[in-house]
């Protein structure tokens, strides 16, 4: 099992809306993530910088930020989230991978 961490940029003033949308995450999106081998997925918010820090476990070679084979459910989610996050031209979130330097089980 591989861990994957990344950061994203939340637009100022959109913190409550981001939390609201994730509190009502679509069941089909959750199922699709599980089918892709993604588990133990958390997103944290740094209030001082408005950066989102995410970490997930991946049992396959892909992760939730992989834009090479985007399914329609993920694309729809990205399209819905585009107004409150910094995004790329395809509406995928600007996602900066982070290198793991330490881990303790």
**Active-site residue list:** 22
CA nearest to 10, candidates 43, 55, 56: 43
Burial 49-67 (b: 16+ CB within 10 A, else e): ebebebebebeeeebbbbe
Evaluate whether 7 touches 52 at the Cβ level (below 8 Å): yes
Name beta bridge partners: 17.
none
């Amino acid at each position: 099992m591989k861990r994957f961490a990344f950061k994203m940029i939340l637009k100022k003033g959109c913190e409550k809306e981001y939390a609201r949308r994730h509190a009502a995450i679509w069941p089909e999106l959750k199922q699709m993530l599980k089918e892709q081998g993604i588990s133990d997925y958390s997103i944290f918010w740094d209030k001082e910088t408005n950066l989102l820090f995410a970490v997930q476990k991946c049992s396959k070679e892909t992760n939730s930020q992989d834009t090479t084979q985007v399914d329609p459910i993920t694309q729809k989610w990205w399209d819905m989230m585009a107004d409150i996050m910094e995004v790329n031209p395809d509406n995928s979130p600007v996602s900066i991978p982070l290198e793991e330097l330490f881990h303790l089980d």
